[in-house]
Amino acid sequence: MSRPVRALALVAALSLVGCGSEAATPPPTSTGVTGDITVFAAASLTESFTKLGKDFEAANPGVKVTFNFAASSALAQQINQGAPADVFAAAAPANMKQVTDAGAVTDSPVTFVRNRLQIAVPKGNPGKVTGLVDFGKAELKIALCTEKVPCGAAAKKALEIAGVTARPDTLEQDVKAALTKVRLGEVDAALVYRTDVKAAGDEVEGIEFPEADKAVNDYPIAATAKAPNAAGAKAFVDYIRSAKGRTVLSEAGFDAP
């Protein structure tokens, strides 16, 4: 065998060895954690966290991520009452403060994304809604989130900035419920997050309005103080804040903090 041929054979052999090593090495995102991880997350994170949860499980064999999606205020109350959560991701700092003040979260929460409101209307915009001013018209059917939840608090702020006194026909307990009213054609418009409008696809239409820029919600995340799976909780929080997490959240319409 000539010298060049022997060199090529050696390179090929080394390549095969390298391939075998890579196949036996855990994925780069693997953390080595196992067990169940329970995540309490704001309703507006449903689609993006569900995807990230599946990706995290795929990267970490032996891990099962379970989500509890609801209004941040309700989740904070559940955690303070002793619900077994490993991670809490809220849609507003005020709700995270509820659990930190109670000692249910000891690590410093970190803002991982921001979100802003958008007007959601049924496909075709039958109510001819153009902006926040229309939320003061008695002839239109309007849905808002109740003020105790983040989307409702943000809506109140935006409406006050616009100088509009809203005339809601229904007050919903979370942003998904408000969006459902629009999807079913039960209201002419609702104030929801733009991420929810995007997740709904062509079932609804979104209308931007300038006051939304002054009513942006920061989303904090933290592991809980009594996390049943402390290592898993830390790993999941790190994953949400990783490049992979940022990409998925950005694609969902969230802003970087």
> Look-up: residue for tokens 């970190």?
110
> How does pLDDT run along the chain (257 residues), one tens digit per residue?
444 444 434 334 334 333 333 333 334 456 689 999 999 999 999 999 999 999 999 999 999 999 999 999 999 999 999 999 999 999 999 999 999 999 999 779 999 999 999 999 999 999 999 999 999 999 999 999 999 999 999 999 999 999 999 999 999 999 999 999 999 999 999 999 999 999 999 999 999 999 999 999 999 999 999 999 999 999 999 999 999 999 999 999 999 99
pLDDT of residue 230: 96
**How far apart (Å, rounded) are the C-alpha atoms in residues 194 and 9?**
57
Does one domain contain both 56 and 134?
Answer: no
Does one domain contain both 160 and 42?
Answer: no
**How far apart (Å, rounded) are the C-alpha atoms in residues 106 and 103?**
6
pTM for the predicted model, two decimal places: 0.85
Sheet containing strand 189-193, strands side by side: 170-172, 142-145, 189-193, 117-122, 204-207
Q: Does a structural domain hold residue 19?
A: no
Q: Does a structural domain hold residue 25?
A: no
Q: Does a structural domain hold residue 84?
A: yes
Angle at 50 between CA 177 and CA 102, to 5 degrees: 75
pLDDT of residue 25: 33
Q: Does a structural domain hold residue 13?
A: no
Does one domain contain both 233 and 154?
Answer: no
Does one domain contain both 121 and 205?
Answer: yes
> Look-up: residue for tokens 């902006």?
131
Give the CA distances from residue 117 to residues 68, 170, 192, 222, 254, in Å, rounded to whole numbers and listed in that order. 23, 18, 5, 24, 11
Does one domain contain both 51 and 94?
Answer: yes
Number of domains in the chain: 2
Does one domain contain both 125 and 54?
Answer: no
Q: Does a structural domain hold residue 23?
A: no
Q: Which domain holds residue 178?
A: 117-214
